[in-house]
Amino acid sequence: MAISTLGTATAPSGLDVAGTVSQLMTVERQPLALLARKEAGYQATLSAYGNVKSALASFQTAMSGLSNLSRFQALSATAADATILTASANSSAVPGSYAVQVGSLAQAQTIAAAGQTSASAAIGAGATTTISFQFGTISGGSLTAGVYSSATFTQDATQAMGTVTLNSSNNSLQGIRDAINAANLGVTATIVNDGSAAPYRLVLASNTTGATKSMKISVAGDATLQGLLAYDPAGTQNLTQSSAAKDAALTVNGIAISSASNAVTGAIQGATLNLAKTGTTTLAVARDAGAMQSAVQAFVAAYNDVHKTLTDLTAYNAATKTGAVLLGDSTVLTLQTQIRSALSSTLTGSGGSLTSLSQIGVALQRDGTMALDAAKLTTAIANNFNDVAGLFAAIGKPTDSLVNFVSSSTNTKPGSYAVNVTTLATQGNTAGSAAAGLTISAGVNDQLLMVLDGVSATVTLPAGTYTASALAAQVQATINGTAAFSAAGAAVNVTQSAGVISITSNRYGAGSGVNVTGNGLFNLLGGAPTTAAGVDVAGTINGVSATGAGQTLTGTIGTATEGLKIQVVGGTTGARGTLNFSQGYAYKLNALAGNFLNSTGPVASRTDGINKSIKDIGKRRDAFNLRMVDVEAHYRKQFTALDVMLSNMSQTSNFLTQQLASLPKIS
């Protein structure tokens, strides 16, 4: 609380009450200066800790990126002629030189409807009309002027069919175009003006290249719309094809390969070829030593940055005999000690030949900085390329090819752990008891009421007569195209053997299941289909029972394998080899920095304490100022009373002097 300034003039007695009280209050307020100095010191410390937090956050970001295996296992893929193809490679690629000849590029199908005089005029009577899109392969027959003769159409079971509904609100070319595009069915609709008497033509293009992505369009409802849009490559074609769906054709080292996409994967292990034109070139796949060197240099630079910040904030200048703000600060000293300790430890559990940073030329210097011996790093990369990553990232190396390392947590301890599987994960399945009926009739046997992986929906199969394989493909495409299932990420694989249909969930584990009822059940699956629910994988890691979910086993809480996740994708039950797990330096430092910075960590604890001290000083200052009001009032009261007393004494003295002066003089 501020204290008002005394404003009285010199008192009648001659005593300067205001000045005297002011001087006394200056002395009384001296403790406030001490509090201000303490507060300034705390504020400076708090600001310095802001720099500490910023440096640690940057360090953590760098370490998090360097914990990624891909930073250290990069391979380059370079084509001799980049106009023919470009390529990329991941860590599973095999270095070498590959001869590639591109014979043809993959292409998407494009079909066009008959021209209309207006793009906005209504087409047909406006009756509710359903347009159904299917995707598959056109084979056999011949193609003349964009129309197929004597061809067959085989549906692609992996691509879901979709529908669009038209009515009087959207039965113009523009409305049809917008409805198809809004449905996101894998088809793009546009309107082209060809300049003829009826210039406006609806053009439909598949969004995906490949021979299996040709369109078949069924129209139910308005006859005029059916005459415009119905398209069956094996039957009536009211649209004409301007470009055919084709696979890319190429050879790699003389081996013929086809690909639905111009981004070709699998032709060369771990590599993706992006085809641009036909021609012949060579592709060189090599270990990217430069990327690995850059990653190691980034690790060294990140450490030196945080080291400099912490050192500068705790330094002592002998020349000026002054210390930095955080000189002797125990929290910062602890941070520095823990970082150095993590760097000086030896890694365990990697199963590789590299266990310390010094083996690749990274070492701490006497002044605490980190230095890199580039020549030693180059040698280490040349001799132990695959092991360098283990020095930085968390990595698990299973000895069984059907056991995959998924992830770990900061609680997972490095080591070599035996894996034993007692139960393999299975998928939910419903299998027919008799050959399926091949004729689907609307309202008779076309509906399946399904519960797939816990999600319920009604599936309506298109009416028609099918072969067994075509029916299986149609069932799969229709189920997977059902909105409720696709939104939940649920899907199935439908197969047939001797006409008997089997529906299997794509999901593994106890949450996987396929249950079917509805009027189409008997026709599709017979009178007594068998249903089996999925089962989770079960087993042990390091001799301790692990938690199974789908195909994933997770280590038990409170054990060395806590947080360790592995995936068992097949094989047999019983002993499945070992998993060598290690935590690299970048991984450890990322976790360490995270602990430093979390809400209960040492930095937060220290800054909370500083803020509490600053707040306490504010309270003490407020209380002191309140007390100063009383002290000032007391001083003023005392000196005012003294002023009055002195004034009275002065008057008495004057009176006595006058009286004495008036007495008769004695001769």
Non-local (6+) Cβ contacts of 555 within 8 A are: 412, 541, 542, 544, 546, 561, 562, 563, 564, 565
Per-residue pLDDT at 10: 44
Tell me the mean pLDDT in the region 538-556: 96
Rounded CA-CA distance 516/197 in Å is 53
Strand partners, 451: 456, 515
Per-residue pLDDT at 13: 63
Q: Are 100 and 285 in contact (CB under 8 A)?
A: no
Rounded CA-CA distance 117/198 in Å is 4
Copy the structure tokens of residue 54. Answer: 């910023």
Regarding predicted confidence, which is higher, 665 or 246? 246
DSSP state of 548: E
Give phi and psi for 561, each to the nearest 5. -100, 15
The structure tokens 């641009």 sit at 276
At how many degrees (to 10) do helices 289-313 and 330-344 cross?
150
**Burial letters for 468-484: b for 16+ Cβ neighbours within 10 Å, e otherwise?**
bebbbbbbbbbbbbbee
Residue 432's CB is within 10 A of a number of other CB atoms, namely 23
Rounded CA-CA distance 25/632 in Å is 7
Per-residue pLDDT at 161: 83
Could you write out the DSSP letters of every residue in 59-100?
HHHHHHHHT-GGGTS-EEEEES-TTTEEEEE-TT---EEEEE
Distance of CA 106 to the CA centre of its chain: 31
pLDDT tens digits, 548-596: 999 999 999 999 999 999 999 999 999 999 999 988 999 999 999 999 9
Give phi and psi for 613, each to the nearest 5. -65, -40
Per-residue pLDDT at 276: 97
At how many degrees (to 10) do helices 17-28 and 602-662 cross?
150
pLDDT tens digits, 358-415: 999 999 999 999 999 999 999 998 888 878 888 998 889 899 999 999 999 889 999 9
Mean pLDDT, rounded, of the chain: 91
Tell me the mean pLDDT in the region 102-122: 96
Per-residue pLDDT at 159: 85
Domains of the chain: 75-105+249-287 (no CATH), 110-246 (no CATH), 290-391 (no CATH), 397-425+537-583 (no CATH), 427-532 (3.30.70)
pLDDT tens digits, 298-312: 999 999 999 999 999
Q: Note the helical H segments in 533-601.
A: 585-597
Per-residue pLDDT at 507: 97
Copy the structure tokens of residue 362. Answer: 């990274």
pLDDT score of 664 more than 80: no
pLDDT tens digits, 150-202: 999 999 988 888 899 999 999 999 999 999 999 999 999 999 999 999 999 99
pLDDT-derived band of residue 1, with 50, 70 and 90 as boundaries? Answer: very low
Copy the structure tokens of residue 402. Answer: 């059907």
Per-residue pLDDT at 8: 42
Q: Are 474 and 155 in contact (CB under 8 A)?
A: yes
pLDDT score of 12 more than 70: no
Q: Note the helical H segments in 443-482.
A: 468-480
Q: Are 255 and 98 in contact (CB under 8 A)?
A: no
Rounded CA-CA distance 408/201 in Å is 57
Give phi and psi for 379, each to the nearest 5. -65, -40
Per-residue pLDDT at 5: 39
pLDDT tens digits, 128-151: 999 999 999 999 999 999 999 999
Per-residue pLDDT at 666: 60
Per-residue pLDDT at 359: 93
pLDDT score of 538 more than 80: yes
Could you write out the DSSP letters of every residue in 623-635?
HHHHHHHHHHHHH
pLDDT tens digits, 311-331: 999 999 888 888 898 998 999
pLDDT tens digits, 37-93: 888 888 988 999 999 999 999 999 999 988 888 788 888 999 999 999 999 998 888
**Cβ neighbourhood burial of 646 (10 Å; 0-12, 13-18, 19+):** middle
The structure tokens 């040492």 sit at 602
